[in-house]
Chain A
């Protein structure tokens, strides 16, 4: 079931399902490799921001971005297993 990235739990893996962000931010994230199906790892989390790892790189994302990224629990999604990211 899809959830907001801000609702994710520290030290867990997720798959990106989609995002609804301003074009510039969305395109920047896509250029960094955050596309549908990308596996991301929640490294750290606090109220205003969180640290995620995808495609081998750590990024700090503010709440305004993270709450507009939809992710899927890794157990409920078996279709994107080959998408790399985080620590596979």
Chain B
């Protein structure tokens, strides 16, 4: 049996899906987290159920892609029963989708989620009257506390097996409008008469259709998708009845709410009290900047303090392995590969675990608290100047964590043009993988103000992104006005479980990258640095890497990067940005590159080749702005749907990286 989870954005579908399947899909407190359908399985009473988590949707019309995709999936017949997850605290709005689902003719069970918020507001829902009025089972659940979930699956299973589609069979369709016995709600006499007549004609024209009533309603609404493949006599539908149908549905919903909601709230909710400050026109932006500054402080200063302990562990480990290999008289080449290649590369990256942990912990708090949507509102004015709505800032903010989910989040934007522009600028955001580059080079060359220098990268990345969007907007001849429309959910205390899943997922990803991509890249960089045309060589200037890097020198030199080592490290950085750091460690054979002694040694080695603070700053800038890692490029290709677009985006990013580094280097040389 296949069960589909459907509901408004941010109603708790994925939390419920995770509770049943044991999956760890990302959940957060802002609309649009789930952008594609996800499948899972569970066993209940010896029966296996396939569960499908569908992207959140407010309705089943055909105005947006997610609505069409969701609707077509339900109509395809793959789903046996639908669990309509409803946010009880926004019942009035959520019931609109419920009514549409009932009309679709599939068995539907309502999972009434977030009852705790309803109770906190001093409201009560009449749980006997609600199913009576809707004509379907309604089960109160708490997706977070995992209460009511057994009853819900039991009800869904039972309902799928026993629900009869008698509501919609042709034999029952007549012009008689006394349909309250058959349907939970009926439309006006005029519309019901039309539905009956259209259904009859549909029955003659399309005998395979199972739910004539729904098709008739959609034809009356002049639904764009449906009218492509189904039609009836023109005189039956003289105009679009969509607005009438929406109005009448809401009239019914208002009746339901009036009957089932006891003690409707009279005072401002706690959320609104917070919002008076967080979305205030004077305090909103400064508060947002303070929050971002605080996250930065935690990531760099607290994370940096913890990193010191990780460095000691890596140094001791490296020393232990080094002595062991020496004692065992292991081949010199293998010894070098392990110490100067693998441990220098992978070990250097592992020391950043505390910084990464704190950064994602902070982002998880932002996402799960409900603040993310407010950021869209706060940033709307600034984004509007670049021709984007404030909603476009959400993917950009996620880009501070990782570009891959950020690119995916761009799907929540309605127009493809906006999505492309956001995908173009997301890689300018300082993702977590760029953090090690800033910490290393700011620490080595700007020991007095390393945090300030690193912070400048975040600001420059953001400015480059906004400026790029602004310039494109200026040259865009088909300007469209931006339509910010986003739900601001209730604030809530972040759930420990959600935060744990979110952070653990990122840490696991970081560790697995260290063990796979970074490990492999470290080995490859070591080979490229230790082998030349004459075979294994200790003279690194004769290596393949040096030859390759020297080809890049003339191009990179005007941007302050006329060192073949920088060229090699930047190319290696395409695999993953952390590899820029790993490459420098391998290039100069420094095992504990992040320790104080390792940094001093690397700074001295770089100083010997004429690489100074200005070059370091240009390297950080170039690494910040040049194209992202292959994983992010893959996501851009998937989401933009074209190699050509990906190519243009990459060319643009290389151009911006080179131009900015060039400008800074040339101006910097004057002082």
| A residues apposed to B, CB below 8 Å | 22-25, 27-33, 35-36, 38, 43-49, 51, 53, 55-65, 82-84, 87-88
Q: Give the chain A neighbours of B485 by CB distance below 8 A.
A: 25, 28-29, 59-62, 65
**Given A58-B488, A60-B488, A48 and B384 contact (CB-CB distance below 8 Å):** yes
Q: Are B58 and A64 in contact (CB under 8 A)?
A: no
In this complex, how many residues of chain B approach chain A with their Cβ under 8 Å: the count is 52
Residues of A within 8 A of B253 (CB): 33
- Option from A55, A56, A58, A62 in Cβ contact (under 8 Å) with B384: A62
Asked if B91 and A56 make an inter-chain contact with CB atoms under 8 angstroms apart, the answer reads yes
Fill in one digit per residue for B76-108: 1 if any A CB lies within 8 Å of its CB, else 0.
000000000000011111001000000000000
* Segment at the A interface, from B275-283, B333-341, B591-599: B275-283
Q: Compute how far the CA of A36 lies from the CA of B251 in the bound complex, rounded to whole angstroms.
A: 11
Q: How far is the CA of A70 from the CA of B614 in the complex (A)?
A: 57
Known: A44-B281, A60-B374. 16 other contacts (CB 8 A): A31-B58, A32-B93, A47-B381, A48-B381, A49-B377, A51-B279, A58-B487, A59-B487, A60-B279, A60-B380, A62-B380, A62-B389, A64-B482, A65-B484, A84-B254, A87-B266
Name which residue of chain B comes closest to A59, CB basis: B487
Q: Is the CB of B58 within 8 A of A58?
A: no
Is B380 a contact of A87 with CB atoms below 8 Å?
A: no
Using Cβ atoms and an 8 Å threshold, which residues of chain B touch A32? 58, 93, 96
Alpha-carbon separation in the docked complex, A39 to B61 (Å): 24
Q: How far is the CA of A48 from the CA of B285 in the complex (A)?
A: 13
- List A contacts of B482 (CB < 8 A): 62, 64
Does B227 sit within 8 A of A, measured CB to CB?
A: no
- B225 at interface (Cβ–Cβ under 8 A)? no
- Indicate if the CB atoms of B93 and A35 lie closer than 8 Å: no
B64 interface hit (Cβ, 8 Å): yes
User: Per-residue CB proximity of B483-495 to A under 8 Å, as 1/0?
Assistant: 1111111000000
On whether the beta carbons of A43 and B89 are closer than 8 Å, the reply is no
| Least CB distance, B551 to chain A, in whole angstroms | 48
Contact B96 A33 (CB under 8 A): yes
Q: Tell me the B362-388 residues at the A interface (CB within 8 Å).
A: 373-374, 376-377, 380-381, 384
Please provide the 8 A-B residue pairs with the shortest distance between their CB atoms, ordered closest to farther. A62-B484, A46-B281, A31-B59, A48-B381, A60-B377, A58-B488, A64-B481, A55-B92
Cβ-neighbour of B487 out of A27, A43, A57 (below 8 A): A57
Q: What's the least CB distance linking A53 to chain B, in Å?
A: 8
Decide if B96 touches A49 in the complex (CB within 8 Å). no
A44 contacts B280, C-beta separation under 8 Å: yes
Name B28-68 residues within 8 Å CB distance of A: 58-59, 61, 63-64
Contact among B58, B250, B264, B267 for A35, CB-based, below 8 A: B250
Task: Contacts A43-B275, A48-B381 given; indicate if A33 touches B390 (C-beta within 8 A).
Answer: no
Cα A84 to Cα B486 in complex, Å, equals 20
Q: A60-B373, A65-B483, A82-B254 are in contact. Are A30 and B243 (CB under 8 A)?
A: yes
Interchain nearest-CB distance for B132 vs A (Å) = 20
Q: How far is the CB of B66 from chain A (nearest CB, A)?
A: 12
Closest B residue by C-beta to A25: B483
What chain B residues lie within 8 Å of A27 (beta carbons)? 61, 63, 242
